[in-house]
Amino acid sequence: MLTKRIIPCLDIKDGRTVKGTNFIELRDAGNPVELAMRYCEEGADELVFLDITATTEKRKTLAKLVRKIATHINIPFTVGGGISTVEDVSVLLENGADKISINTSAVKNPQLINELAKNFGSQCVVVAIDAKIIDNDWKVVTHGGRNATTLLTIDWAKEATERGAGELLLTSMENDGTKVGFALEITKEITNSVTVPVIASGGAGSMEHFADIFQQANADAALAASIFHFKEIAIPDLKQYLRNQNIAVRL
């Protein structure tokens, strides 16, 4: 039985870790290198680093900061933000990233998924999907949640995996930063529709929320930020709780 993964997320702006609600009202959450080291020591299974304004500011992800973090951790490390070419990915992998995450650039140019999977292998390509309820349907939004599209989330999830995505990172814009729990229904719909691992993101506020997303929606991993950054939930305690709920985790 595959173990479920717990993944802290470092949202980076101006070289600092930040956290907001529904992608806005950002507040400082600390030094990304120090946080990464702490999560590694606490038993996080992986780490995700998202340069959240790279796309809207039309610049590349901070390769130097990626290298700095990578030299201090020994767990899989996914990096996203401003990636739009094969060269961008090469730079990040050379600086210590294990996987890369693409979002807006994949929606604008779906062929990019095929190119990256062909050049680096599907296991390296994570397609991040930001989903929002628009006209009573879960639709894809881009540019850090600022731009709506007509793409249905479920259709895009299927297309991304068919094009070679090795993993999906699904963030509910409705739940992000609210601490009311993950978006169970859309997550379950996607886990039932694709054959690759699905990371659920957006809304974690309690240990029960993690149990729900694993047991009710069959997510392969759960990602959270503020509850870990501000020590509201400790990863070792969370993993022990999940183990007690008969959920397979790596202790």
DSSP string, 212-229: HHHHTS--SEEEESHHHH
pLDDT of residue 23: 46
Active site residue 130: yes
Q: What is the pLDDT of residues 41-94, one digit of tens each?
A: 999 999 999 887 665 555 566 788 899 999 999 999 999 988 999 999 999 999
- Please report which confidence band the pLDDT of residue 143 belongs to, taking 50, 70 and 90 as the band edges: confident
Backbone φ and ψ for 64, nearest 5 degrees, come out as -65, -45
Percent of the chain with pLDDT over 90: 78
Following CA atoms 173, 176, 181, 182 in sequence, which dihedral angle do they give, to the nearest 10 degrees? 50
Comparing 15 with 102, the larger pLDDT belongs to 102
The catalytic residue among 11, 45, 212, 220 is: 11
Active site residue 220: no
The catalytic residue among 45, 51, 88, 130 is: 130
pTM: 0.93
Mean pLDDT within 191-205: 97
Q: Is the pLDDT of residue 189 over 90?
A: yes
- Please report which confidence band the pLDDT of residue 34 belongs to, taking 50, 70 and 90 as the band edges: very high
pLDDT of residue 60: 63
Rounded to a whole number of angstroms, the CA Rg of the chain reads 16
pLDDT of residue 229: 86
Q: What is the pLDDT of residues 121-132, one digit of tens each?
A: 999 999 999 999
> Given the DSSP bridges, would you call strands 167-172 and 137-142 parallel, antiparallel or unpaired?
unpaired
- Using alpha carbons, select from 83, 79, 100, 91 the residue that is nearest to residue 36: 79
Which class does domain 5-244 fall in? alpha beta
